[in-house]
Structure 1
Amino acid sequence: MTRKNQAITLSINEKEKKALESLALEFGKTWGDKPNVSKLIKAIALNQLKIAVNNDWNNQRIETLEKARKLLLDFGFILEAEEIAKILIERSEFKNMFSSREIEQFLDKPKPLWRKNIENFIKRQQPFKLTYQDASERLWNFTVIHGQLRIIEKHQYLVCTCQEAEGNQDIIELKHNWTFKLDRIQEAVVTPVELSWQPDLDMIEVQFKVYRGLAFAYSKEEIKQDDIFKGDIEDSPPSRLIIRNVWSTFWFFREISNYWNDCEIIAPESVRQKFCQKLFAINAMYAENPSQDS
């Protein structure tokens, strides 16, 4: 004798129904490729999804974030404004204070389905396979076991750790990390895979010192993303030790190269030597090709 599931009736309007279906899709509660509200509610009941208070922000915080969003738009920082809009649209306080129509339209600008799938998989911590074709019509396949969407130099990137490492020029500890500029991918296929999600990117601790004026300037800044230690200022010359979790030597070198001799990599030796190789290559290029005016 089979036992039938008990049914409940939800008294909701069409807009609320669509909102629940959207959440079901976002959290992977589907029947085939269609959203399944029953699975969503069951996941909440089983504490697989947590319900949090969503009306405990004061008015000043909401108003400040909305002003920041509009200022970012005015200065052309679209991606940053989008991130703030996502925070605001989820808050019940915002809908009580402002019309959410403007933000909904701002966020509803069409996105490719593969982009939405990547965002959903990351949110659900679901490993996935990314297949895309580059400008040279080469086909690339990556199995992503950890991914983050990061804004780097005003562009949005998928930063991820993959099973694949072939062709990666980074040091051995970071060879499985890849960075994809999303607006360069015109079309892609994104599908889930049955693997375990890695809790973070592959990282190594890098120690570096900042000298002279930069040592003082660094003390006035907020701790930068991935910094895990900021030492006190030492004298002769003034210096400060920084320890940072680094997931890509390419992006790390790109940042510190702005500081020239005001920054020195201390450890590990593999990262220090890789940076030295770049400096030697630059020196050789200038030595072999002297200016015609010299």
Structure 2
Amino acid sequence: MSRKGQSITLSISERDKAELEAIALEFGMMWGEEQPNISKLIKAIAQRQLLIGNNNDWKESRIRALHRCIAALTDIGQIEQAQIIANLLLERSELSIPLRNEIERFLENSPPAWRLQIDNYILRNQPFQLSYQDARGVLFNFTVRHAQVAPHEKRQYLDCWCEETEGNFDIPELIHNWSLRLDRITDAAVTVISGEWRNQLDEIEVEMHLFAGLAFAYQAKPEDTTSEWLPDKPKVKRVIRRVSSTFWFSREVMQYAPDCVVILPENVRDRLKQKLLTLCQLYDIETTS
């Protein structure tokens, strides 16, 4: 003689019912192949096949650190990883309403398909063709053989090595390097191409001397190959750095003038001198040749 199962009645809202069904679906508690089964879910909990844990015991420091990870991963183009952390945080009940709303907006504003393609190709070291049209209607085509998403002045750029050089006004050694501002690309076509992926952007070494307080306050950067005090010039620090773009490099060092002087190479030094001469003309400062 078979034993009849006992039934219980749950007084829950439609939203809570939907949440329970979602959990049942996640753990494979189903009627047939498609219908989630709340009864099976409750039975699994009762039999301790599924364990219930606290969802409000994370410290604020942990939530703050994970929240910062979302921004950091987004800045370097790891969008999928940032979304994983965002969804993990949304599962927690400790989140304040403003923080929850911010994370939900982040997930709603997911990047376009072409951006995800680029991130995927970078992870795979896969060369690709990038075509897009700017706001003026000018069409750009780039054959990309190395790329990385990098922040410059609070904006995200695609720093890439491309076969095309027309329109690039950097020095000859860096003319294959491009820095494309991603938020100015509204739509793009991205396709796989054959060939080898380059290990890095083209680079040159730039030597600069730092004076006064800047010399003592300077902290070496990962791209620095040398950072040392000059024995014959007290209080002067010599820094040699690998540079892939004179545009971004000059924007950085110009803000430290006159406590930073570029020594070598000559073509980079000459570009900075020309900027200073132009600035003197704008301020009606007479210079001698």
TM-score band by shorter chain is 0.5 to 0.7
**Aligned counterparts, 1:1-294, within 5 A:** 66-70=63-67, 72=68, 79-80=71-72, 82=74, 99=92, 106-107=106-107, 109-218=109-218, 221=219, 223-232=220-229, 234=231, 236=233, 238-287=235-284
Tell whether the 8 Å contact from 1:69 to 1:85 is kept in structure 2 after alignment: no
Question: May I ask how many residue pairs the two structures share in their alignment?
Answer: 221
Structure 1 pair 158–138 and aligned structure 2 pair: CA distance change class (3 A): same
Q: Offset of 1:86 from its aligned partner? A: 6.3
Aligned to 1:292: none
Pairwise CA distance, 1:250? 0.5
Shift of 1:63: 8.4
The offset of 1:278, in angstroms, is 1.4
**Unpaired runs of 5+ in structure 2?**
1-23, 28-58
Q: Distance in 2 between matches of 1:199 and 1:14?
A: 44
Q: C-alpha offsets along residues 207-234 of structure 1, whole Å, 9 cap, x if unaligned?
A: 111111000001xx3x324222211365
Range that drifts further, 227-236 or 124-133: 227-236
Checking the alignment, whether the CA contact within 8 Å between 2:83 and 2:107 is kept in structure 1 is: no
Matched residues in 1 for 2:155 and 2:164: separation?
24
Deviations 1:92-151 (A, max 9, x none): xx97xx859977984563211000001001110111111000110010101111000001
Change (3 A) 1:116 1:87: closer
Q: CA offset at residue 182 of structure 1?
A: 0.5
**Per-residue CA distance 1:168-211 (angstroms, 9 max, x = gap):** 11100001111111011111111111010000001001111111
Q: In structure 1, what is the Cα distance between the partners aligned to 2:142 and 2:131?
A: 6
d(CA) in 1 for partners of 2:152, 2:66: 18
Higher mean C-alpha deviation, range 136-145 or range 236-245: 236-245
**What TM-score, normalized to structure 2?**
0.66
Q: Is the 8 A contact 2:149 2:157 kept in 1?
A: yes
Separation in 2, partners of 1:269, 1:132: 35
TM-superposed deviation, 1:66? 4.5
Mapped contact 1:211–1:237 kept (Cα < 8 A):
no
Q: Gaps (5+ residues) in structure 1?
A: 1-12, 17-61, 290-294
Spell out structure 1 runs of 4+ moving beyond 4 A. Answer: 13-16, 62-66, 83-91, 98-108, 233-237
Q: Report if the CA contact (8 A) 2:132-2:187 is conserved.
A: yes
Q: Is the 8 A contact 2:71 2:82 kept in 1?
A: no
Identity of aligned residues (%): 42
Amino acid at match of 1:227: D
Larger radius of gyration: 2
Alpha carbon RMSD of aligned pairs, Å?
A: 3.5
Contact 2:161 2:178 in 1 (8 A): yes
Cα shift at 1:285: 2.9
